[in-house]
Amino acid sequence: MQLLANIIVLGAIYALISCGYVLIYRVSRVLNLAHGELMMVGAYLLLTTAGMIPNPWIAIPVAGLLSLAMGALVYLLLMRRMTGESVLAAILTTIALGILLRGVVVIFFSAAHQYPSVPLGLHASSVEVLPGARISSLSLVLVVVTALVYGSLFAFLRLSRWGLRMRAAGQNPLLAAQRGINLHGIYAMVWGIAIFTGSIAGMLISLDAGLDQTLIMIGLKAFPGALVGGLDSLLGALVGSLIVAAAEVLLIQYVNPLLADVVPFLILIAMLVFRPWGLFGTREALDRV
Amino acid sequence: MNRTIALAAAAGLFGTAASAQDAYRIGLSGALTGPTAGSYAPAIEGFQLYIDRLNEAGGIDGHPVELIVLDDSGEASRGATNSRRLLGQEDVLLMINASLSSTFAPMMADASRAGVPLLFAASACPAEVFPPAQPLFYCTTAFGAVYDSRATLDFIEAQAGSDISLGLSAMAIPLSRGEIEAAEGLASERGMRPQAPTIVPPPTADYTPFATSISQAGADWVYSWAPWVTEVRTFEALRRLGWEGEYIAWAHLEAEGELARLQDPGFHAIGANSLFAEDLPVHQEIRAAAEAAGATYSPDQMAEGWVAGLVVEAALRGAGWPATAESVNAAMSQLDVDTQGLRGGPIQWSAENHFRATQYYRVYRWDADQSAIEVVQDWTPYTVE
Amino acid sequence: MSKTKLLALILAAAALLALPFTVSGAWMDIANQILLASIGALALMLLTGFAGQISLGHAGLLAAGAFTAGILSRELGAPFWVGIPAAGLTGALLGVIFGLPSLRLRGIYLAVSTLALHFLVVYLGGEYETRRGFSTGILIDPPMVFGIELWDPFAWYPVLLVGAILTYALSRNLLKSRTGRAWAAIHDTEPVAAALGINVARTKLWAFVITSAITAMAGALFAYYRGFVSIEAFSLFVTIQYVAMIIIGGMGSLTGAVLGAAFVTLLPHLIEGATRYLPTGGAISGSVFAMNYAAFGLIMIAFLVFEPGGLMGIARRLKGRG
């Protein structure tokens, strides 16, 4: 039971982070390797707002809105200029952005380990979710938030007009542009949403565990999940994250905790050999890049 | 435009323009940026503050100490570049390493070649500084391999006897794994029942899976000797699983603030530094210096750097003027520095021992009634042989 | 060869030869790092810039070469002359493994599969270090070449210079050969290349094997040069630096790879030098270093956005104007 709870929590963390990779890739075919850094900046935004307004009901939404704006700005100011450049150049731009952000964060916030939960007066308590299985209350919040995010993303993509436009832009940008869809607007929105979800993940993790630069590495560790599921499928990101989380938790418990670090990538290699487009990805995505 | 920058940069690299001829030159390479900076940068800042204060007070017999600080981000190759630069270009009398253990090997090789002493401060003490010590390598850092585990297990035994199941937690870096594996052996010798060590990879999103395996194995006590993140997050994950045992971890520079944050009497921190809550004159001095300089880091994380400052000042004084690398090394190999209460006793070095003659340990925990940190076990000396 | 080009070449050769007599040890060390980086960047340029295959496993390959040399030297006392070719062989073997996914994958998917292999190599290296108790890295004694002990950067310079020139010459010849033309063909369009009778799979594998062998030898040289091997020295950041070198230098140009290697190696030093003259207002140096880090990212972004052709692009434009 405890193991199941652990798998679900870890899977939710990975899934909440990796939907940002998928959203951006699906619509603009760019792999955003600065996702971990942007997620960290989102968490530092919370640290800042928490320092000014010590009320979680205000500080968290304000930081969330700021991160939404940050995502859109990253597209409008930087990534927009990379349209038409090679895949590698676009990836490298995101990496360069990541390096820049790491430095900037140290300048403004120093490298010390800090706790946004302290000014907000939040304390994680232990909750019994299943008979014999306990998790931290913040982990419970994280699982619920992940479910909400995925639920609303599915609904948004399927049902709303903007969602339809997003899908159209992802499938055939040229045609979409000819039909009068504002591509830059769509892309900016997608970047905004992606960084928003990533930042929420960063905020929740840092409320539980504190905040420093290691958050970036966690952002990177969520990536195999997205790939196992298929980089252009949201459902895939969810399932893939759960698979990777399950493998990790079971190995830690029964084999050797050290393997936890490599196994996501082993699953990834197996996946790339047998079904490179991922569990739920579309096959033609392979040829497009 | 580009050319001006290049020229300015070249000038910067060639000449440390304002370098006074009458100064003691020392160099430091440390992890000021990068993912592990949080464990080293505060100590480096403390060291810089000490040297600045020393210079403001007129230096050493009228000679200022010129400190060259280089960043290695905790990367071995940058550490190597830095040590070549400090030795080949800046001609320093003494090098200081405040970084990850992966930077040790290149700096040690270069220091040996050049015959310049190398002090480890805030970074782990390598085997070479323990008796029989190799010449040129010294260490002021509070923690020391094997002695820490011995003191910890003594404490656990005094508290709970030896009929206990002992959980062990390490980070997946060689240093921490090695120490915890050594502790496993020591615990077996005492008749304790140690679990197989749980080794946590550094970037970990959720510590619960690791804590689950410790908790389900039924640990009464858990001992962790690792970077602070691993120590404290394993503990927090254990508590959230409903585990009610006792936990002991090495008191890194974060310890003081963290004990107050956790407020859990079951969390023991064993360490060799005194805490700022004691408010000794030396603590007030560090606070004042940090405040005056507008320091980035909290003064209660600067003790390591201050201790290094005390030692470096004593070494340079002992070397006299004009100092050479040899005279500094000679002074260091017979040093006796009063730590003014920052440690349980003096730091004494001899030709054989570059760690310290006696290592003192204290155990702290949070006292819920007093709402303050209490000393569970006062300074306990261990002779280093 | 035109007269100006010949003149430029002679000047460059003279400068390279005169360098050791005019600079300090620290600058010599930086020059050596540039030469080492050039070898690795040339290898990556062959793969990415000419054969069109993306790899994010470069640091893993450097690590594999460095560890081969380190383990051979430490466990068997093998000399320099054995360590370097052995590293090359390990690299070639790994190249086959790294290259296999390329038969099915392209673009981002290929990049990620090489990234996964990077983590595997790093894991194995770390396990070796821990198991053998080399927790602070494996020390390697300075190699002897023609009876000279290679420790001093001045002693290393000629060796590394020869290594870099050999790599450059080899790459040039390779590109003129059948293999090079086949690479160019698969770079443009694979189906057309196949229609032309080029064995696409074999051509791709060759590209990976050659690149990996050279990279692993560069890794081994790095290990001998530094006198130690430690797995922490081969983080993902190293891969990023190499990819940055070939992009900043200019894709599809060997000279670009060398220029990029020089630029990326020098950049932190230039930034550090430049920031010394900025008013820091008494700030403690920690934030100065964070500024260096940020500036590195900023300059990379500036190149990618404003000068996608890289340094070679700038050079071509200047030439076109003049």
pLDDT at B17: 39
Q: How confident is the model at residue B5 (pLDDT cuts 50, 70, 90)?
A: very low
> C188 or C89: which carries more pLDDT confidence?
C89
**Do residues B211 and B238 touch, judged by C-beta distance below 8 A?**
yes
Task: Count the domains in chain A.
Answer: 1
Classify residue C286: in a domain, yes or no: no
Q: Is the pLDDT of residue C245 over 70?
A: yes
Q: Which residues of B touch C237 (CB under 8 A)?
A: 75
Peptide bond into B132 cis (omega under 30): yes
pLDDT at A120: 87
- Which span out of A245-259, B17-31, C31-45 was modeled with the highest average pLDDT? C31-45
Mean local confidence (pLDDT), B191-214? 88
Written as six digits, the tokens of C162 are 């020869």
Indicate the CATH number for domain B2-142+279-360.
3.40.50.2300
Q: Which chain A residue lies closest to B173 (C-alpha atoms)?
A: A258
pLDDT at B164: 93
Q: Please tell me the distance from the alpha carbon of residue C70 to that of residue C228, in angstroms, as a whole number.
A: 7
- Which span out of A144-148, C201-205, C263-267 was modeled with the highest average pLDDT? A144-148
Q: Is the pLDDT of residue B93 over 90?
A: yes
pLDDT at C282: 43
Candidates C122, C127, C131, C301, partner chain A, best to mutate (most A CBs within 10 A)? C301
* List of residues 6+ apart from A125 with CB closer than 8 A: A136, A137, B240
pLDDT at C231: 80
DSSP symbol at B267: E
Written as six digits, the tokens of A167 are 């899908």
Pairwise CB contact (< 8 Å): B5 & C274:
yes
Q: What angle do CA C62, C64, C67 make, to 5 degrees?
A: 105
Q: Which of A85, A91, A107 is the closest to C290 by Cβ?
A: A107
Interface check B252 vs A, CB under 8 A: no
**Do residues C101 and C95 touch, judged by C-beta distance below 8 A?**
no
| Of B281, B280, B276, residue with least CA distance to B297 | B276
Q: Which of B38, B201, B297 is the closest to A212 by Cβ?
A: B38
Q: Which of B76, B174, B295 is the closest to C135 by Cβ?
A: B174
Q: Please tell me the distance from the alpha carbon of residue B266 to that of residue B235, in angstroms, as a whole number.
A: 10
What's the gap in Å between the CA of C200 and the closest CA on chain B?
A: 38
Interface check A40 vs C, CB under 8 A: no
Note the ipTM here.
0.84
Classify residue A135: in a domain, yes or no: yes
B238 by DSSP, 3-state: which?
helix
B347 by DSSP, 3-state: which?
strand
> B39 or B43: which carries more pLDDT confidence?
B43
The domains spanning B2-142+279-360 and B147-273+361-383 adopt the same CATH topology: yes
**Which residues partner with B120 through β-bridges?**
B97, B139
Q: Please tell me the distance from the alpha carbon of residue A184 to that of residue A83, in angstroms, as a whole number.
A: 10
Q: What angle do CA B69, B73, B75 make, to 5 degrees?
A: 115
Angle between helices A214-221 and A183-209 (to 10 degrees): 120
pLDDT at C106: 67
> A214 or C92: which carries more pLDDT confidence?
C92
Q: How confident is the model at residue C275 (pLDDT cuts 50, 70, 90)?
A: low
Classify residue A279: in a domain, yes or no: no
- Which span out of B7-21, B230-244, C147-161 was modeled with the highest average pLDDT? B230-244
Residue B226: phi and psi, rounded to 5, are: -160, 175
pLDDT at A146: 95
pLDDT tens track for A6-35: 999 999 999 999 999 999 988 888 889 899
Residue C98's CB is within 10 A of a number of other CB atoms, namely 30
Pairwise CB contact (< 8 Å): C139 & B105:
yes
Q: Which residues of A touch B254 (CB under 8 A)?
A: 113
What is the Cα gyration radius of chain A?
19
Pairwise CB contact (< 8 Å): A218 & B212:
no
Give residue C68's identity as a one-letter amino acid code: T
Residue B160's CB is within 10 A of a number of other CB atoms, namely 15
pLDDT at C283: 47
Interface check B12 vs A, CB under 8 A: no
pLDDT tens track for A56-99: 899 999 999 999 999 999 999 999 888 777 777 788 889 889 98
- Long-range CB contact pairs, A261-266, < 8 A, 24+: A261/B172, A261/B201, A261/C119, A261/C123, A262/C119, A262/C120, A262/C123, A264/A221, A264/A224, A264/A225, A265/A224, A265/C115, A265/C116, A265/C119, A265/C120, A266/C116, A266/C120
Q: Please tell me the distance from the alpha carbon of residue B124 to that of residue C160, in angstroms, as a whole number.
A: 34
Domain ranges of chain B: 2-142+279-360, 147-273+361-383
Mean pLDDT of chain B: 88
Q: Please tell me the distance from the alpha carbon of residue B297 to that of residue A251, in angstroms, as a whole number.
A: 39
Pairwise CB contact (< 8 Å): A89 & C304:
yes
Q: Write down the residue that tokens 């759960």 correspond to.
A: A242
Give residue C39's identity as a one-letter amino acid code: I
Classify residue A147: in a domain, yes or no: yes
Q: Is the pLDDT of residue C192 over 80?
A: no
Q: How confident is the model at residue A264 (pLDDT cuts 50, 70, 90)?
A: confident
Written as six digits, the tokens of B122 are 């805030």
Question: Which residue segment(s) compose the domain that A148 sits in?
Answer: 15-123+130-223
Specify the range with the lowest mean pLDDT, choosing from B11-25, C70-84, C110-124.
Answer: B11-25
pLDDT at C26: 75
Classify residue C142: in a domain, yes or no: yes
Looking at domain B147-273+361-383, its CATH superfamily turns out to be Response regulator (3.40.50.2300)
Q: Please tell me the distance from the alpha carbon of residue A136 to that of residue A123, in angstroms, as a whole number.
A: 10
Pairwise CB contact (< 8 Å): B296 & C286:
yes
Can you say how many angstroms the Cα of residue C74 is from the centroid of all Cα atoms in its chain?
Answer: 25
Mean pLDDT of chain A: 86
Q: Please tell me the distance from the alpha carbon of residue B281 to that of residue B289, in angstroms, as a whole number.
A: 12
pLDDT tens track for B332-373: 999 999 999 999 999 999 999 999 999 999 999 999 898 899
Question: Which residue segment(s) compose the domain that C120 sits in?
Answer: 28-235
What's the gap in Å between the CA of B75 and the closest CA on chain C?
A: 6
DSSP symbol at B297: S
CA distances from B68 to A18, A111, A137 (A): 43, 21, 47
Residue A124: phi and psi, rounded to 5, are: -75, 130
pLDDT at A273: 73
Task: Count the domains in chain C.
Answer: 1
pLDDT tens track for C199-208: 888 888 889 9
Written as six digits, the tokens of C200 are 């696409």
pLDDT tens track for A148-192: 999 999 998 888 888 888 778 777 777 877 777 788 888 999 999
* Inter-chain Cβ pairs, chain A and chain B, closer than 8 A: 112
